[in-house]
Amino acid sequence: MKKTAVPSKAVVTREEKVRSLLAKVMPSPTVLNSYSDDEKIKMIEERFTEILEILGLDLSDDSMNRTPHRIAKMYVKELFSGLDAANFPKMTVIENKMRYDQMIVVQDIDVISCCEHHFQTIQGAATVAYIPDKKVIGLSKINRVVEYFARRPQVQERLTKQIADCLQLVLETEHVAVHINAKHFCVIARGIQDANSSTITSDLRGDFKHRTDTRKEFLLHCRNHI
């Protein structure tokens, strides 16, 4: 009897998995393009040269002649690296063999982002918590998730929800909480020029939202001092 060939399963690449995950996270206002990092750096460098010349700066000066390139490289490789799905951190999760069912909290995670309205710095700290079900995540990965979504033009409200969305999907638990306390340099350096105020946002889900004792316990961990 002739055997029927069994079709092989399609191999899903890491890039495809990441894009599928990110498609379920609250999106940033972006459009796709096909530029490589090198092409982006070259194009941004050319345009920043024009901007600095319009401002009347002398780019032949040895202190400034590399400034357009420095800015372009910083934008693509550092400040806005979170716009590239290829930079999404590897998510190391393990089976919750310990059957741990209490709150796990990571406090005072550095937040460095950029206000999308004025391209000024957002600086602060995040406290992130979850109650595991079947999975537990490597602790440093929580920091890396915060960093990934912070490294793009942002508003703090969206950043808070993106972190919560991502962790809820990766951990497959509804019990996730994110709290951010940050200073915005678009408030400090321009406009009202208030260096003292900070902005607090939070996204509480599952027991963190609906159970008063869990909510209180988490918020006690969120007394950050910037």
CB 123 within 8 A of CB 182: yes
**C-alpha–C-alpha distance, residues 162 and 152, integer Å:** 12
Q: Cα 132 from chain centroid?
A: 21
**C-alpha–C-alpha distance, residues 133 and 150, integer Å:** 27
**C-alpha–C-alpha distance, residues 55 and 69, integer Å:** 17
Whether 50 sits among the annotated catalytic residues: the reply is no
Which residue in the list 15, 16, 117, 157 is annotated as catalytic?
117
* Order of strands across the sheet that contains 153-154: 153-154, 104-115, 121-130, 176-184, 199-204
Q: Cα 108 from chain centroid?
A: 15
Whether 184 sits among the annotated catalytic residues: the reply is yes
Which residue in the list 107, 115, 174, 217 is annotated as catalytic?
115
Tokens matching residue 153: 């033009």
Whether 116 sits among the annotated catalytic residues: the reply is yes
Which residue in the list 107, 116, 123, 217 is annotated as catalytic?
116
CB 146 within 8 A of CB 89: no
CB 120 within 8 A of CB 185: yes
**C-alpha–C-alpha distance, residues 121 and 185, integer Å:** 5
Which residue in the list 118, 120, 174, 221 is annotated as catalytic?
118
Whether 157 sits among the annotated catalytic residues: the reply is no
Which residue in the list 114, 168, 184, 222 is annotated as catalytic?
184
Whether 193 sits among the annotated catalytic residues: the reply is no
Which residue in the list 107, 120, 174, 186 is annotated as catalytic?
186
CB 142 within 8 A of CB 128: yes
Catalytic residues: 115-118, 156, 184, 186
